[in-house]
Amino acid sequence: MITSNLLRPYVTNMKKFLRMANWKLKLGLGILVFLVAIGILEPFINAVRLGGYDPMEIGRFPRWQRSSWEHPLGTDSFGRDLLAVTLRGLRYTLILCFLSGAIATVIAVILGVLSGYVGGWLDTIIGSFTNGLLVIPTFPIFLLISTYFPRIDLLTMCLILAAFSWPFAARTIRAQVLSLKNREFVNMAKTCGFNDLEIVVKEIIPNMLPYVCTSLAFSIVGAAFAETGARLLGIGPQDIPTLGLILNWVFASAYLMQGRYLEVIIPSSLLVFIFVSFNMIIIGLDEMFNPRLKKVTGM
Partner 1 sequence: MPEREDRVPMSSLLHVEELKVYYKSVWGDYKAVDGVTFDVFEKEIFSIAGESGCGKSTLAEGILRLVKPPGFIAGGQVIFNNVDLLKLSEEELRKIRWTKLAYIPQGSMNSLNPVLKIKEQMVDAIVDHCPEMEQEEAEELAYSMLSEVGLPVDVAEMYPHQLSGGMKQRVIIATALALKPQLVVADEPTTALDVVVQRGILQLIKMLKEKYDMTVIFISHDMAAHAQIADRIAIMYAGKIVEIGSIEKVFEEPLHPYTRGLIDSIPTIGRRNIKGIPGVAPSPLNWPTGCRFHPRCIFATEACSKIEPPLEELENGRYVACHLYR
Partner 2 sequence: MNEQALLELRNVSKEYRVGALLLKRTIRAVNNVTFKIPREAYAIALIGESGSGKTTIAKMILGLLKPTSGEILYRGRNISEWIRKNKLEYYREVQPIFQDPYSVYNPVYRIDRILKVTAKKFKLAKTKEEMRSLITKALEDVGLRPEDVLGRYPHQLSGGERQRIMLARILMLKPRLIVADEPVSMIDVSLRASFLEKLREFKEKMGISCLYISHDLHSASYLADTIIVLYRGCIVEEGPMEKVLSEPLHPYTQQLLSSIPIPDPKQRWKEQVNLATLEAVSALGRGCPFYVRCPHAMERCSQEAPQLKELEDGRKVSCFLYY
Interface residues with partner 1 (CB under 8 A)?
A: 295-299
Give Cα 241 to chain centroid, integer Å: 17
Q: Is 273 helix (H, G, I), strand (E, B) or coil?
A: helix
Q: Least separation, in Å, of the C-beta of 20 and partner 1? A: 9
Q: What track of x and - describes contact with partner 2 for positions 194 through 233 (by CB under 8 A)?
A: x--------x--xx-x------------------------
Amino acid identity at 185: F
Single-letter residue type at 249:
W
Among 2, 135, 192, 254, binds partner 2 (CB under 8 A): 192
At residue 81, what are phi and psi to the nearest 5 degrees?
Answer: -70, 120
Distances (CA, A) of 180 to 97, 111, 136, 175, 282: 30, 16, 30, 9, 22
Which C-beta is closer to partner 2: that of 63 or that of 183?
Answer: 183
Q: How far apart are CA 204 and CA 208, in angstroms?
A: 7
- Torsion angles phi and psi, residue 142, rounded to 5: -60, -45
* Least distance CB 139 / partner 2 (angstroms): 35
Please say which residue, 139 or 289, places its beta carbon nearer to partner 2: 289
- Among 212, 194, 213, CA closest to 203: 194
Which of residues 48, 183, 239, 290 is near partner 2 by CB under 8 A? 183
Binding partner of 295, given partner 2, partner 1, none, CB within 5-8 angstroms per partner class: partner 1
Q: How far is the CB of 217 from partner 1 (least distance, A)?
A: 25
The one-letter code for the residue type at 165 is S
Kindly tell me which residue out of 51, 62, 193, 298 binds partner 2, with binding defined by CB under 8 A: 193
Residue closer to partner 2 (CB basis): 12 or 156: 12
Cα Rg of the chain (Å, integer)? 22
Q: Least distance from C-beta 190 to partner 2, angstroms?
A: 6
- The span of 71-79, 93-101, 140-148, 179-187 binding partner 2 (CB under 8 A) equals 179-187
Closest separation between CB of residue 175 and partner 1, Å? 19
Nearer to partner 1, 139 or 289 (CB): 289
CA 68 to chain centroid, in Å, comes to 33
CA angle 119, 107, 235 (to 5 degrees): 135
Q: Give the side-chain half-sphere CA count within 13 A for 82.
A: 29
* Distance between CA atoms of residues 251 and 268, nearest Å: 11
3 state SS of 75? strand
Q: Which of partner 2, partner 1, none has residue 297 at its interface (CB below 5 to 8 Å by kind)?
A: partner 1
Query: Which does residue 9 touch among partner 2, partner 1, none (CB within 5 to 8 A, set by kind)?
Result: partner 2
Q: Which is nearer to partner 2, 209 or 213 (CB)?
A: 209
The answer to whether 34 contacts partner 2 (rule: CB under 8 A) is no
Q: Which residues bind partner 2 (CB under 8 A)?
A: 9, 13, 183-185, 187-194, 203, 206-207, 209, 299
